[in-house]
């Protein structure tokens, strides 16, 4: 059933492991991009990936929903399990996986369709709506969750590409939410947005945490500190440190983390 | 002075000017090139251009204008009563030019001297036999006035050429001297050369536009002439195409237009799906290695001359279809030449057109849109159908319309594949013909050029021109209107 309101708030307290990665290696041709990454990502939690450019955080994020499959020269070793199931197993259909693990990209990428059709895209493909009213319901719910409903409810037939950058990104989030994923991956979702739109998206992320597990890649340390509960610091393809956000930012154990956070490397 | 010598002299002068200009610039700067406004070779180029451009300009205009002026002055010399029965002035003038040309050759070969030419008289010498000896054949004996006119023509042409040589050389020298005199360290030679480059580019661009205008003009006058002889109502709304060279033809464009559109339609039905699907395969599914082989192979199709496609239609596709649909098979088809034959082959010809244009357009759809769709759990074909193709649609429509205007303008395949019968019929296995094929047959026939049977070719050409122009304009409009939708 597609109904967010029935999910109980108590889930916040029970931290089950959603993703678990063991000894993950990623190669782009000869380039060893990710080295020995071991990490457990919790459900109903925002996990932030931080680190300098080229450190592998986006690459690792894209491993979690097998978006790297579309790149020919990319090779992945090790285990990544979603709810205990190996997502790189032959029996897993990457298309099914991506329906469960949604993604929001760095640059807003609304389809050249109407706002309504953008949000209805996923539900239509996966047959989530039994009827037109059902679909209307899903679209409205998703747009409300993305804090966009009030702005667009009168012009659902207008093209999604005609909105402002911040609205477009929230539309993309609504689109991802409409597919009813379990995990939402966000690859620098605010890097193309102004501070006001960024604040709106961050608020949204905090709201979405009640229903989903979220992973967000960001270059902004303040953003990581504001929105996440767990933080992972990547450096040169290694996962250097992973822990509670508060602890990473106030009392990092690794000196590379400290250098990065205080702005000495990056 | 022969023309090529004149050209060579001016070029040599320019080359000398280049080195002298460069030398003088360096000299005025005391050998320190940093004191110059421009690099030394700009000064050289400035002198060379100043010597060359005005001289060649005058030469070009002169060469175009002189024959016109000489012709007019000679025409006035020929008395109207000297015109033979049934001959027009233009025919006599072409005789005059031919005799003058013959005399030139005779002098060149040493058969005659200039003085002998001046004293030639039509009633004393057999001009026709004499010119025949040097290889200029004349249709009839040369009457007196024509010979006098020819001698005059020769004289005027020679005098004109001499004055032109002098004018060109003087201009070249003046340009050279002026530019050389102006050359010093402060002179802005670079800006002058820049302006020269700009003028060259403008000239190249306007030449293309002027040619198009010229083509339209040449069509328009003959089309108007045709409509004077043949009612426009019959041409546009009649339904029978039956030219008879004795006169009284029925010349209606409808059967031809129908053939054109029918064949083009079949061609597009073949080319659009195949071309589009191969473009989708190439841009979305094929690996880079596969793509590197297949794309050039498809584009080879575009390089095959249409006459070869015509042979393919005539020798392979026609008999093949006849075997299937002819009296041996279904019995729908009488001969190998039919709308279907030409349409199929033309469709094959258009495949690379559609596929390579669509391929570029599909590749231009941002990868982020595909990622967005995959990220929502869509499969490849869902992504292509629902995201990539709608985004690329305007471009694809443009590609199809461009292919359509090629199909409409195609001639050779029609001539060899579709037959020559103009008829209004729905049966795709019957022979039909198109506007272009009829233009060829009307102009290459024996008809008098001033008769409606020949002039109809221009009206047909104009009709076709307008149709393809509208199609192209429409294609451009669609492409422009929707181009930036996903940015």
Interval A126-150: pLDDT, tens: 888 889 999 999 999 999 888 889 8
Residues of A in contact with B370 (CB under 8 A): 70
Inspect the interface and report whether the beta carbons of A105 and B372 lie closer than 8 Å.
yes
Tell me the CA distances in angstroms from B281 to B46, B359, B362, B386, one per residue in order.
55, 9, 11, 16
| B382 and A CB contact within 8 Å | yes
* Closest CA–CA distance from residue B308 to any residue of chain A (Å): 40
* Closest CA–CA distance from residue B478 to any residue of chain A (Å): 16
> Which of A89, A27, A34 minimizes the C-alpha distance to A60?
A34
Residue A13: pLDDT over 60: no
Inspect the interface and report whether the beta carbons of A122 and B390 lie closer than 8 Å.
no
Nearest residue of chain A to residue B371 (CA atoms)? A67
Residues A155 and A113: their CA atoms lie apart, in Å, by: 13
- Residue range A115-119: average pLDDT? 93
Query: pTM score, two decimals?
Result: 0.72
Q: Where are the domains of chain B?
A: 3-187, 242-486
Residues of A in contact with B378 (CB under 8 A): 95, 121-122, 125
| B373 and A CB contact within 8 Å | yes
- Residue range A158-181: average pLDDT? 89
* Closest CA–CA distance from residue A112 to any residue of chain B (Å): 6
Strand, helix or coil at B138? coil
The contacts of residue B22 (CB under 8 Å, 6+ apart) are: B40, B41, B43, B44
Strand order in the sheet with A238-244: A85-86, A74-82, A17-28, A31-42, A238-244, A230-235, A46-50, A213-217, A183-187, A101-104
| B130 and A CB contact within 8 Å | no
Identify the burial level of B180 via C-beta atoms within 10 angstroms of its C-beta, where 0-12 means exposed, 13-18 middle and 19 or more buried.
middle
| Residue whose structure tokens are 């990428």 | A109
Nearest residue of chain B to residue A97 (CA atoms)? B377
CB B375 within 8 A of CB A98: yes
DSSP annotation of B244 reads -
Residues of A in contact with B289 (CB under 8 A): none
The contacts of residue B126 (CB under 8 Å, 6+ apart) are: B141
| A98 and B CB contact within 8 Å | yes
Tell me the CA distances in angstroms from B96 to A138, A254, B10, B158, B162, one per residue in order.
90, 103, 33, 15, 21
Inspect the interface and report whether the beta carbons of A102 and B485 lie closer than 8 Å.
no
Inspect the interface and report whether the beta carbons of A109 and B386 lie closer than 8 Å.
no
Residues A93 and B80: their CA atoms lie apart, in Å, by: 95
* Closest CA–CA distance from residue B286 to any residue of chain A (Å): 11
Nearest residue of chain A to residue B391 (CA atoms)? A112
Q: What is the helix, strand, coil percentage profile of chain B, to 5?
A: 75, 0, 25
| A72 and B CB contact within 8 Å | yes
Interval A61-80: pLDDT, tens: 999 989 888 787 888 888 89
Residues B335 and A141: their CA atoms lie apart, in Å, by: 66
Residues of A in contact with B374 (CB under 8 A): 67, 70, 98
| A169 and B CB contact within 8 Å | no
Residues of B in contact with A161 (CB under 8 A): 485-486
Q: Which one of 3.40.718.10, 1.10.230.10, 1.10.3090.10, 1.10.3720.10 gives the CATH number of domain B242-486?
A: 1.10.3720.10
3-class SS string, B324-379:
HHCCCCCCCCCCCCCHHHHHHHHHHHHHHHHHHHHHHHHHCCCHHHHHHHHHCCCC
> What torsion do the CA atoms of A120, A123, A129, A133 make, to the nearest 10 degrees?
-10
Helices (H) then strands (E): counts for chain B: 19, 2
Inspect the interface and report whether the beta carbons of A111 and B374 lie closer than 8 Å.
no
pLDDT for res B83: 65
Lowest average pLDDT, out of A115-119, A224-228, B173-177, B390-394, goes to: B390-394
Interval A18-40: pLDDT, tens: 899 999 999 988 889 889 999 99
* Closest CA–CA distance from residue B375 to any residue of chain A (Å): 5
Question: For chain B, what is the radius of gyration of the CA atoms?
Answer: 32
Residues A228 and A230: their CA atoms lie apart, in Å, by: 6
Tell me the CA distances in angstroms from B183 to B29, B46, B188, B195, one per residue in order.
11, 9, 9, 17
Nearest residue of chain B to residue A107 (CA atoms)? B368
Identify the burial level of B105 via C-beta atoms within 10 angstroms of its C-beta, where 0-12 means exposed, 13-18 middle and 19 or more buried.
middle
Inspect the interface and report whether the beta carbons of A109 and B377 lie closer than 8 Å.
no
Tokens representing residue B464 in the block: 């076709």
Residues A4 and B228: their CA atoms lie apart, in Å, by: 79
| A217 and B CB contact within 8 Å | no
Strand A46-50 with B241-242, pairing: unpaired
What was the ipTM of the complex prediction? 0.84
Residues of A in contact with B481 (CB under 8 A): none
Query: Testing the interface with A: which of B375, B393, B484 to mutate, by most A Cβ within 10 A?
Result: B375
Give the containing element (helix H, strand E) for B250: strand B250-251
Inspect the interface and report whether the beta carbons of B372 and A161 lie closer than 8 Å.
no
| A161 and B CB contact within 8 Å | yes
* Closest CA–CA distance from residue B370 to any residue of chain A (Å): 9
Q: Give, for all 487 residues of chain B, the pLDDT tens digit.
A: 678 899 999 999 999 999 999 999 888 888 888 888 888 889 999 999 999 999 999 999 999 998 888 888 887 777 766 666 656 677 777 778 888 888 888 787 777 777 777 777 766 677 777 777 777 777 677 777 777 788 888 888 888 889 999 999 999 999 999 999 988 888 888 999 999 999 999 999 999 899 989 888 888 988 998 888 888 888 888 888 888 766 677 888 888 999 999 999 999 999 999 999 999 999 988 888 888 888 888 888 888 998 999 999 989 998 888 888 877 777 777 787 888 999 999 999 999 989 988 998 898 888 889 989 998 889 999 999 999 988 888 888 888 988 998 899 888 888 888 888 888 888 888 888 888 888 888 888 776 777 888 888 899 999 998 988 898 888 888 777 765 555 4
| Residue whose structure tokens are 């966009």 | A148
- Region of A82 please: left (phi>0), alpha (psi -120 to 50) or beta: beta
CB B441 within 8 A of CB B275: no
pLDDT band at A12 (very low <50, low <70, confident <90, very high): very low
Q: Within 13 Å, how many C-alpha atoms sit on residue A129's CB side?
A: 20
The neighbour count for residue B141, using CB atoms within 10 Å, is 11
Q: Please state, rounded to an integer, the average pLDDT across all residues of chain A.
A: 87
| B288 and A CB contact within 8 Å | yes
Q: How far is CA B371 from the centre of its chain?
A: 46
| A97 and B CB contact within 8 Å | yes
């Amino acid at each position: 059933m597609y109904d967010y309101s029935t999910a109980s708030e108590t889930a916040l307290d029970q931290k089950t492991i959603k993703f678990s990665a063991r000894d993950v290696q990623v190669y782009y041709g000869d380039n060893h991009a990710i080295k020995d990454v071991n990490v457990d990502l919790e459900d109903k939690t925002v996990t932030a990936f931080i680190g300098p450019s080229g450190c592998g955080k986006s690459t690792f994020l894209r491993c979690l929903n097998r978006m790297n499959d579309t790149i020919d020269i990319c090779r992945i070793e090790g285990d990544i399990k979603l709810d205990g199931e190996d997502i790189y197993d032959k029996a897993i259909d990457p298309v099914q996986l991506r329906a469960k693990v949604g993604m929001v990209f760095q640059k807003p990428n609304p389809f050249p369709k109407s706002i309504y059709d953008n949000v209805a895209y996923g539900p239509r493909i996966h047959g989530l709506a039994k009827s037109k009213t059902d679909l209307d319901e899903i679209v409205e719910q998703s747009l409300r969750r993305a804090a966009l409903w009030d702005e667009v409810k009168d012009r659902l037939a207008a093209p999604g590409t005609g909105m402002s950058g911040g609205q477009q990104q929230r539309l993309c989030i609504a689109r991802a939410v409409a597919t009813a994923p379990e995990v939402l991956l966000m690859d620098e979702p605010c890097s193309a947005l102004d501070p006001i739109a960024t604040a709106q998206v961050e608020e949204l992320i905090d709201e979405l945490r009640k229903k989903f597990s979220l992973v967000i890649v960001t270059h902004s340390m303040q953003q990581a500190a504001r929105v996440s509960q767990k933080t992972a610091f990547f450096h040169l393809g290694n996962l250097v440190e992973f822990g509670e956000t508060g602890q990473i930012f106030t009392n990092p154990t690794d000196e590379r983390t400290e250098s990065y956070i205080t702005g000495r490397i990056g | 002075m022969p023309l090529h010598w004149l050209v060579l002299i001016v070029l040599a002068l320019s080359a000398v000017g280049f080195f002298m200009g460069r030398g003088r610039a360096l000299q005025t700067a005391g050998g320190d090139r940093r004191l110059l406004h421009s690099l030394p070779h700009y000064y050289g180029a400035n002198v060379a251009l100043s010597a060359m451009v005005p001289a060649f300009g005058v030469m070009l205009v002169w060469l175009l204008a002189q024959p016109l002026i000489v012709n007019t002055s000679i025409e006035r010399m020929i008395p109207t009563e000297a015109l033979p029965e049934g001959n027009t002035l233009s025919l006599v003038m072409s005789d005059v030019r031919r005799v003058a040309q013959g005399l030139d050759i005779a002098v060149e070969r040493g058969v005659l001297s200039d003085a002998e030419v001046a004293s030639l008289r039509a009633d004393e010498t057999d001009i026709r036999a004499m010119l025949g000896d040097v290889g200029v054949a004349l249709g009839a004996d040369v009457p007196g006035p024509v010979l006098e006119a020819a001698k005059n023509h020769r004289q005027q042409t020679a005098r004109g050429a001499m004055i032109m040589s002098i004018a060109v050389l003087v201009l070249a020298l003046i340009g050279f001297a002026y530019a050389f005199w102006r050359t010093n360290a402060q002179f802005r030679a670079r800006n002058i050369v820049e302006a020269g480059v700009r003028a060259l580019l403008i000239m190249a661009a306007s030449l293309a536009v002027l040619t198009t205008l010229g083509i339209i003009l040449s069509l328009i006058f003959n089309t108007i002439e045709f409509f004077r002889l043949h009612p426009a109502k019959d041409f546009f709304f009649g339904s029978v195409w039956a030219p008879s060279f004795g006169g009284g033809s029925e010349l209606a464009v409808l059967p031809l237009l129908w053939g054109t559109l029918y064949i083009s339609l079949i061609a597009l039905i073949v080319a659009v799906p195949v071309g589009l699907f191969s473009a989708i395969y190439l841009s979305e599914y094929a690996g880079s290695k596969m793509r590197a082989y297949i794309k050039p192979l498809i584009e080879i199709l575009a390089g095959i001359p249409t006459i070869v496609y015509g042979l393919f239609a005539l020798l392979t596709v026609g008999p093949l279809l006849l075997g299937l649909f002819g009296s041996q098979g279904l019995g729908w088809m009488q001969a190998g030449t039919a709308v279907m034959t030409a349409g199929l082959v033309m469709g094959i010809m258009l495949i690379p057109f559609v596929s390579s244009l669509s391929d570029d357009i599909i590749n231009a759809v941002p990868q982020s849109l595909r990622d967005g769709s995959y990220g929502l759990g869509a499969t490849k074909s869902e992504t292509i159908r629902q995201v990539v193709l709608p985004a690329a649609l305007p471009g694809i429509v443009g590609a199809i319309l461009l292919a359509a205007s090629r199909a409409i303008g195609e001639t050779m395949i029609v001539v060899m594949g579709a037959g020559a019968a103009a008829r209004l019929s729905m049966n795709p296995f019957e022979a039909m013909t198109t506007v272009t094929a009829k233009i060829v047959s009307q102009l290459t026939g024996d008809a008098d050029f001033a008769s409606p049977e020949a002039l109809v070719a221009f009206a047909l050409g104009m009709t076709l021109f307008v149709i393809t122009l509208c199609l192209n304009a429409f294609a451009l409009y669609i492409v422009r209107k929707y181009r930036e939708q996903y940015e």
